[in-house]
Amino acid sequence: MKNETWSFLGEKIEAGQKAQVMIRPYGEDYEIPTTIINGENTGKTIVINGGLHSCEFPGVVACMTTAGEIDPKKVSGRIIIIHCLNSSGFIERTDAIVPEDGMNLNRDFYGDKNGTISRKIMAFLEEEIMPIADFIMDLHSGSSMEQMASCLFFPVGASDEVAKISMGAASNIAIEHLIASRSSDGFYSYAASKGIPGILVERGYNNTCEKEDYEGYSGHYIKYGKRGAMEIATLGCAVTVKLSEDKKHIADLRLAYGVAAPTPIRCHETEQSVIGMELGEALAEKVGRGALLEVNPRSSWRASKEFRLQLVEELGKRAVRQAAINAGGEWDA
């Protein structure tokens, strides 16, 4: 269904169009560069923000690049891209704080329209952005003096539905470490406590982020539940793959399961065992059977351990098949 004209931040954006605007929290002489995209068709609203910590440059560059590359006519839904939330800190080259008041926007999150500039920024996010957001992606990295392994945080301290959606999104990002977080004092985690799923991505260090770390990856997530909506998953399976140049073999693979244990489980041995394998049913069988050796699900009122083990094998096979197809591979049955 075709989108309607979107009135937001003083702009009217027609369906299939985007606009560059400046957020000025409650009349403050403080500008936050933002791109708003009104997709051609209806759908969810996603918020992407970088520069919450002003010294973490890769997220700022990612927002600028993404805003330029997205074609609104190919979008279903709406996207708000906040290029650099802590813009004054970026200009002043402060470490992670807003220089006007010395506050960290990712700590002790609560807004106050009559407070300092940091509190006004938080209030704007809470009152103007969160009510229309269906998902939030908060981009971070190691700073110029910080060596950091790429990792991703997703919320598990909020509702099961928020955790499920957040985990599903996390599975489609080619990143080594997935971390279940119970924090609630930052932007994305505070939003999660209000029912908005999201993730916090830490990618890049020393203010760099190499393209080979993320280009060429595709993924697929399968949730098994008894109902189509508002269902706590019986089991979830996520696969991310990178194919060889000829699109016929596995160059890299990540396999993870949710609801099989208190936190998501990565199948590291299975991942390594399939590197170089040709796409096809032999690969799917290897993934499914390998996962059975690494996942030890529990019985609960929703499903027995034995049934979950059946799901571990079958969902693994289905997810790797679809992930490979999403990455441009051909799958021979």
Q: Are residues 145 and 221 in the same domain?
A: no
CATH number for the domain that contains residue 200:
3.40.630.10
| pLDDT value at residue 333 | 61
Q: Judge whether 1 lies within some domain.
A: no
- Confidence band, pLDDT 50/70/90 cuts, at residue 123: very high
Q: How crowded is residue 31: how many other Cβ atoms within 10 Å of its Cβ?
A: 14
Q: What is the rounded average pLDDT of the residues 12-41?
A: 91
Residues of the domain holding 64: 6-212
| Angle between helices 305-326 and 281-294 in degrees, nearest 10 | 140
Q: What is the pLDDT of residue 183?
A: 84
Average pLDDT over residues 133-141: 94
Note the pLDDT tens digit of each residue in 253-272. 999 887 777 667 889 999 99
Do residues 171 and 260 share a domain?
no
Q: Is the pLDDT of residue 176 over 80?
A: no
Instruction: List C-alpha distances in Å: 281 to 51, 96, 168, 239.
Output: 44, 49, 24, 16
235 and 140 share one domain:
no
CB of 213 closer than 8 Å to CB of 174 = yes
Task: From 86, 88, 93, select the one nearest 53 (Cα to Cα).
Answer: 86
Q: Which two tokens stand for residue 290?
A: 């390998």
- Indicate the residue type of 85: L
Lowest mean pLDDT among 21-30, 38-47, 131-140: 21-30
27: left (phi over 0), alpha (psi -120 to 50) or beta: left
**What CATH code is carried by the domain that includes residue 287?**
3.30.390.50
Name the 3-class secondary structure at 268: helix
Q: With bands split at pLDDT 50, 70 and 90, how would you rate the model's confidence at 120?
A: very high
Q: Are 175 and 281 contained in the same domain?
A: no
Average pLDDT of the residues in 123-135: 95
Task: Scan for tokens 């004092």, then name that residue.
Answer: 185
DSSP reduced 3-state for 182 = coil
Share of residues in the chain with pLDDT > 70 (%): 92
- pLDDT of res. 169: 83
Backbone angles phi, psi at 92, to 5 degrees: -85, -10
274-316, pLDDT tens digit by residue?
999 999 999 999 999 999 999 988 888 778 889 999 999 999 9
Residues 180, 88 share a domain: yes
Task: Please state, rounded to an integer, the average pLDDT across all residues of the chain.
Answer: 88
**DSSP codes of every residue in 36-67:** EEE-SEEEEEEEEE--SSTT-HHHHHHHHHHH
Domain count, the chain: 2
Residues 260, 133, single domain; the answer is no
Tokens describing residue 229: 């909506």
- Final residue in a domain of this structure, among 194, 212, 230: 212
Predicted confidence at residue 54, as pLDDT, reads: 83
Rounded to an integer, what is the distance from CA 242 to the centroid of its chain? Answer: 18
Residue pLDDT, tens place only, 189-235? 999 999 999 999 988 766 666 666 667 888 888 888 776 555 667 88
Name 269's Cβ contacts closer than 8 Å, sequence gap at least 6. 290, 293, 294
